[in-house]
Structure 1
Amino acid sequence: MTTLENRPNSALLVVDVQTGVVAEAHERDAVVANIASLVEKARGEGVPVVWVQHSDEDLPRGGDAWRIVPELTPGDVEPLVEKNYGDAFEDTTLESVLSGAGVGRLFVVGASTGWCVRSTLHGAFVRGYDTTLVSDAHTTEDQTGWGSPAPEAVIAHTNLYWNYQTAPGRTAAAVATKDVDFGA
């Protein structure tokens, strides 16, 4: 039901699952395993997998912390979108990659929940995409020292409010890995 014309396809958007981003993330191994299973499912169904990779002064391009985690390997023909802002659409090639593949529905996974995942969810939604957050395939590090709620609370709250997000002509949802249906 996307508001984007002639964009019937779905894509899996893997946001910032980089060594330095998820090193101390909540339930890191389980989340990465869920993402890996979704990547394999998407590939098996011919659904595009789009990788997003952040860089900034704390995460310099080319450094070990910048690299995608070793458990996940982008395919040779899978697009890799480099970004410098929380929202993966801001000043990147993401929109052109998605429009070129006829994508109007995104399944979003990755890190960090309260920063880049949330920014990208909102960025996609306001641009007209149907946007599904995979509830057990995103994570965040502990930011309680800076006043944030505990990681599990940030994740739970994001899942809750995204499941009830509404806007004309678009859908939003939060679903578990086992319930992802790329064709729905």
Structure 2
Amino acid sequence: MSTLTDRPETALVVIDVQRQVVAAAWERDAVVKNIATLVERARETGTAVVWVQHNDADLPRGGDGWQIVPELPVRDGEPVVHKNWGDAFEATELEDVLAARRVGHLVVAGAQTDACIRSTLHGAIARGYDATLVSDAHTTDDNGEWGAPPPEQVIAHTNLYWRFHRAPGRSGGTAGTAEVTFTRPAP
């Protein structure tokens, strides 16, 4: 039901599942396995898979830690969006990639829940997209030393508030890996 009425398609957006980003992430292997399941299902249904890779001073482009994890090989023709900010739309070509594919609904998975996942979800809604967070396919590190709750609480809280997130003409929502169908949410 997005406000992007000429965009009937859905895309799986996989955010920052890079070696260094998820090296110490909570439930890393289970989350990566769920993302692999989503990628396979998206490919089988002809749904676009869009990869997002973060770069910054601590994660330089081209380095070993910058690479997407080996369990998730990117296929030829699948777009890879490079970003320097939390929101994958900010100063990137993500909007152009989605517009070219007539995408109005995003299914979002990846890392880090309390940074790039949240920023991109909010960025999507603000730009007119519907955005479904895959509740068991995102993760984060333990940032307790900076005052954050344990990672499982960060993830649970994000799932809770995103499940009910709405804006005029747009919807958020969550779904587990097994529930994702790559169709648009009902209004």
Q: Above 0.5 in TM-score?
A: yes
**Identity value in percent:** 63
Corresponding position of 2:44: 44
Matched, 1:3 2:12: no
Matched, 1:118 2:114: no
Corresponding position of 2:95: 95
Letter in 1 for 2:58: D
Letter in 2 for 1:101: R
Describe the SS at the equivalent of 1:74.
Answer: coil
Alignment partners' CA distance in 1, 2:38 and 2:104: 18
Query: What do residues 23-72 of structure 1 show as CA deviations (whole Å, max 9, x unaligned)?
Result: 00000000000000000000000000000000000000000110000100
Alignment partners' CA distance in 1, 2:183 and 2:160: 23
Letter in 2 for 1:26: W
Corresponding position of 1:140: 140
Query: What do residues 93-150 of structure 1 show as CA deviations (whole Å, max 9, x unaligned)?
Result: 0000000000000000000000000000000011000000000000000000110000
Corresponding position of 1:163: 163
Alignment partners' CA distance in 2, 1:3 and 1:96: 16
Q: Which 5+ residue runs of structure 2 have no aligned equivalent?
A: none
Letter in 2 for 1:140: T
Alignment partners' CA distance in 1, 2:59 and 2:76: 23
Corresponding position of 2:21: 21
Q: Which 5+ residue runs of structure 1 have no aligned equivalent?
A: none
Alignment partners' CA distance in 1, 2:48 and 2:165: 24
Alignment partners' CA distance in 1, 2:16 and 2:62: 14
Q: Give the CA RMSD over aligned residues.
A: 0.5
Alignment partners' CA distance in 1, 2:165 and 2:50: 23
Alignment partners' CA distance in 2, 1:140 and 1:146: 14
State the shift of 1:183 in Å.
1.9
Letter in 2 for 1:111: A
Describe the SS at the equivalent of 2:4.
Answer: coil
Describe the SS at the equivalent of 1:148.
Answer: coil
Structure 1 residue ranges, 4+ long, deviating more than 2 angstroms after superposition = none
State the shift of 1:5 in Å.
2.6
Query: What do residues 139-179 of structure 1 show as CA deviations (whole Å, max 9, x unaligned)?
Result: 00000011000000000000000001111001110110000
